[in-house]
Homo-oligomer: A and B are copies of this chain.
Amino acid sequence: MSRIGRREEDSRLLLIEAYRELVEMGADPTVAEAIYVGVQSEVYEHQIMYGTLAAEALGLLPREAYRVEACAAAGALALRSAYMAVKSGEVKAALAVGVEKMTARGTEAVTDALMAASHHIDQRSGVTIPAHYAMVARRYMHQYGATEEDLCMVAVKNHRHAVRNPKAHFQRAITLEECLASRPIAAPIKLYDAAPISDGAAIALVASEEVARKAPTPAVEVVASAVATDTLSASQRPDLTYPRAVAEAASKAYGRAGLTPKAVEVAEVHDAFTINEVLMYEALGFAERGGGYRLAREGATSLEGSIPVNPSGGLKARGHPIGATGLAQIYELYLQLTGRAYGRNTGARVGIAVNEGGVNSAAVVHILRAP
């Protein structure tokens, strides 16, 4: 993974930075016969066909390459595609690539980014993505008694984790008071409840067991991979506070892995807004419905807690380069499961990742296991 943050380099150089680390780890990415790419370059670079572009930038032409997309879930979808390509036997190894160069565009990108909302309903209503999550947060607080402090606790935790992550966008702690005093974006969501706009890239080399066994670097096992969807517009759902797509994808993933939530020892989840991390606790089965916010309050999801969530700092503090995020999560799980996360090792043997697109409109869940 490249360093995440406000970067001067263009997206191809960020890709190469991630690729270089893969090589330095001892992996041979040229064994990959296909490249699947998660990116939202139509919004941030006026560029489509980024599959071809990535293959070209990495010197991997004329290999199979294409882009996969479900907004911010694209990175994990690249992994899903690589996983299925290898499992099908069509290729022995594939690269899952995620990248985004967001900071070169100004606020006019906001209009383009709204392409992820329903053209037929939400785009014409003028509601933005933060406003959507504000409604979710407001309803959740009303329904279960959570407070703005509870939501800020998630941000405080994730910033604290990111202090130990040298590649994180924000490597500094924040206090609860700072979070509460940060400026409103869409009440009750404040600046510090929201993930930043970041640049970055991440790559996973996915290989068959046979290829992986010969590699000089330890591999982690993809135990399960699953995707589920929900209405594009949140307005069409019976319950705003229950992310059905995540629950469905998690249920499929647990089923395919033959595991229950209790087996999970570390998680990377899609905290684009703090409320969403709380919803993930519940959808993944770490807490009962309405009880998620207590996990952050009690410290259960801290590095030292019973189920560490977002040890990387999460989208909130590691950063959220859209197309790269899903694979940045996988990168963190890889480090955690192989004991390479330095100052933030959890010793976990089973990890789960949840990457999402839209307002919980598409969810991708992966379960990984230590070698």
- Give the interface segment out of A292-300, A329-337, A357-365: A357-365
Bound: A119/B46 CA distance, A = 7
Confirm or deny: A81 has a beta carbon within 8 angstroms of a beta carbon on chain B. Answer: yes
- Which residue of chain B is the closest to A90 with respect to CB atoms? B84
Task: Report yes or no: B358 in contact with A49, Cβ–Cβ below 8 A.
Answer: yes
- Which residue of chain B is the closest to A227 with respect to CB atoms? B64
Chain B residues within 8 Å of A63, by CB: 228-229
Confirm or deny: A115 has a beta carbon within 8 angstroms of a beta carbon on chain B. Answer: yes
Of the listed residues A83, A227, A244, the one surrounded by the most CB atoms of chain B closer than 10 A to its CB is A227
Chain B residues within 8 Å of A118, by CB: 47, 53
- Give the interface segment out of A66-74, A132-140, A259-267: A66-74
Task: Report yes or no: A71 in contact with B48, Cβ–Cβ below 8 A.
Answer: yes
Task: Report yes or no: B66 in contact with A232, Cβ–Cβ below 8 A.
Answer: no
- Give the interface segment out of A54-62, A164-172, A209-217, A344-352: A54-62
A344 to chain B, nearest CB (A): 31
Confirm or deny: A205 has a beta carbon within 8 angstroms of a beta carbon on chain B. Answer: no
Bound: A52/B77 CA distance, A = 13
Confirm or deny: A230 has a beta carbon within 8 angstroms of a beta carbon on chain B. Answer: yes
Chain B residues within 8 Å of A128, by CB: none
Task: Report yes or no: A49 in contact with B70, Cβ–Cβ below 8 A.
Answer: yes
Confirm or deny: A42 has a beta carbon within 8 angstroms of a beta carbon on chain B. Answer: yes
Chain B residues within 8 Å of A62, by CB: 228-230, 244-245, 248
- Which residue of chain B is the closest to A72 with respect to CB atoms? B49
Query: Contact partner of A67 among B47, B52, B68, CB < 8 A?
Result: B68
Task: Report yes or no: A361 in contact with B49, Cβ–Cβ below 8 A.
Answer: yes
Task: Report yes or no: B232 in contact with A53, Cβ–Cβ below 8 A.
Answer: yes
Task: Report yes or no: A34 in contact with B119, Cβ–Cβ below 8 A.
Answer: no
A-B contact pairs, 24 of them (CB 8 A): A34-B227, A42-B48, A45-B119, A46-B123, A47-B118, A47-B119, A49-B70, A49-B115, A49-B116, A49-B232, A51-B69, A52-B361, A53-B232, A62-B248, A65-B362, A66-B69, A66-B77, A66-B227, A66-B362, A81-B81, A83-B88, A84-B88, A87-B88, A90-B225
Nearest 3 pairs of A and B residues by beta carbon: A87-B88, A64-B227, A88-B88
